[in-house]
Amino acid sequence: MRVNRLTALVAAALATGACAGDGGDGASMAMGMVHGPVEFQGHDIAEIRGGYAVSVADFNNDGRTDVIANALGVPEVAWHENPSWERHVIYTGASRIVNQAVADITGDGIPEVAIQSDFAMQAANSDGSNWVLQSGGDPTNMAWQGELVDQWETSHHVQWADADADGELELYNAPLLGPESLAPTYDQDMASFFWYDQETWTRHLIDDQIPGIIHRIRPVKWDSNRDAFLMASFEGITLYQASGTGMNKSWSKNVLSPGYTAEPAPRLGASDVGMAASGDSRIIASVEPWHGNQVVVYTDNNGSWQRRVIYEDIGGGHEVWVEDLNGDGYADIVANDNSRVTENNPNGTPGVNVFFSPGDPATGEWTHVKIEDEYAMNGCASADINVDGRPDLVCTGSGGMIRWYENMGGGM
Ligand SMILES: [Ca+2]
Ligand SMILES: [Ca+2]
Ligand SMILES: [Ca+2]
Ligand SMILES: [Ca+2]
């Protein structure tokens, strides 16, 4: 295990008084103390060439959260067992795997894994296969059963969610784009958004009028115990909510923000979106535009979402993660950077950026700490990997590594 050399950098930030407790505005005084940055220490889990997506789940039901990651060039599905990080290959029947989503849909304590394979940026080259993998009870078994649920060109982001709150998860699929959308602008056609019921895995349409690229769909509890979806696309940030139950769900859509609109496609809209409770309200955060450079915070301003750019120097933006990492009740933001330093890109800025919230996320000063500056990272998830009560981060990306970042606390 290699110790992250940025630890010293973070410690220096703490020593220079970034550790606050003095929010400096009325809202934070009323809410309580705002904490400064916590320190993160990086640990390698495994190398993965061209890492793309990472998720966390307890695969062997031992109380420790394990890690699954995939890469387009690695034709295997494998999870890594916490804490030894032994790699368990569970499926070898798919290639060009772009995303996965993990949930225990059978209730036996061992999760199922939905994967999307045969991905390409061009519909003509992408069968877009959607699979559900089941362990049969032994999560270390090398031959999980794979069921081909659907094929839809450019299937690209997958999630489990319960949009009718009946206790049974549905599967959600957001293909990247419509068949006529092509490089370089990718905006010639409309994209679609689907769900599948567990009984028959029938494809049900949610929306087929999404312009350009859909990059991420994120289930959130918006205003009830139903899961709603925030979508990041060329259209910006949109909210999808279901009414009705079972096969009879119908969907409403609201554009919360058009996102980044200063340039034409493909530098348009949003790349990813997250939401979390913060203080006595909530924030939405995104990275914009698609594959963009801006970290954006949205705050609720009497029912409309006020857009604020807090950072513009992400070299290769992709995903965002929103969570209170220093335990002060205010949601913080993780924005990875997938730009590598190469001969053609000597000014790459690979790594992971964390932004700690001020007492007023709309007007206060966010504290930026870079917790990784060596490995290009495409996405991060969070889990309490070492079971000490503090949320840790797990990331992977084109830097070729899966790493977890131990939340060392501090920041009070
Ligand atoms: Ca485990
Ligand atoms: Ca359901
Ligand atoms: Ca916080
Ligand atoms: Ca922890």
Q: What is the pLDDT of residue 210?
A: 98
Kindly identify the ligand whose nearest atom is closest to the C-alpha of 110: 1
Kindly identify the ligand whose nearest atom is closest to the C-alpha of 60: 1
Ligand 3: centre distance to CA 233 (Å): 27
Name the pairing type of β-strands 66-71 and 77-81. Answer: antiparallel
Kindly identify the ligand whose nearest atom is closest to the C-alpha of 160: 2
pLDDT tens profile 160-182 = 999 999 999 999 999 999 999 99
Kindly identify the ligand whose nearest atom is closest to the C-alpha of 325: 3
pLDDT tens profile 15-71 = 333 333 333 343 444 456 899 999 999 999 999 999 999 999 999 999 999 999 999
Q: What is the pLDDT of residue 342?
A: 94
pTM: 0.92
DSSP state string for 53-120: EEEEE-TTSSSS-EEEEEETT---EEEEETTTTEEEEEE-S--S--EEEEE-SSSSSS-EEEEEES--
Ligand 3: centre distance to CA 165 (Å): 29
Ligand 3: centre distance to CA 283 (Å): 12
Ligand 3: centre distance to CA 196 (Å): 36
Kindly identify the ligand whose nearest atom is closest to the C-alpha of 171: 2
Ligand 3: centre distance to CA 262 (Å): 30
Kindly identify the ligand whose nearest atom is closest to the C-alpha of 79: 1
Ligand 2: centre distance to CA 210 (Å): 24
Ligand 1: centre distance to CA 81 (Å): 6
Ligand 2: centre distance to CA 113 (Å): 17
Each residue's pLDDT, cut to its tens digit, for the chain (412 residues) gives 343 444 334 333 333 333 333 333 434 444 568 999 999 999 999 999 999 999 999 999 999 999 999 999 999 999 999 999 999 999 999 999 999 999 999 999 999 999 999 999 999 999 999 999 999 999 999 889 999 999 999 999 999 999 999 999 999 999 999 999 999 999 999 999 999 999 999 999 999 999 999 999 999 999 999 999 999 999 999 999 999 999 999 999 999 999 999 999 999 999 999 999 999 999 999 999 999 999 999 999 999 999 999 999 999 999 999 999 999 999 999 999 999 999 999 999 999 999 999 999 999 999 999 999 999 999 999 999 999 999 999 999 999 999 999 999 987 7
Closest CA to 272 of 323, 317, 208, 206: 317
For residue 28, what is the enclosing H or E element? helix 26-31
Max CA-CA distance within the chain? 59
Ligand 4: centre distance to CA 42 (Å): 12
Beta bridge mates, 278:
281
b/e code 97-127 from CB counts within 10 Å (16+ = b): bbbbbbbbbeeeebbbbbbbbbbbeebeebe
Strand, coil or helix: what is 17? helix
Kindly identify the ligand whose nearest atom is closest to the C-alpha of 88: 1
- Is residue 259 within 8 Å of 284, Cβ to Cβ? no
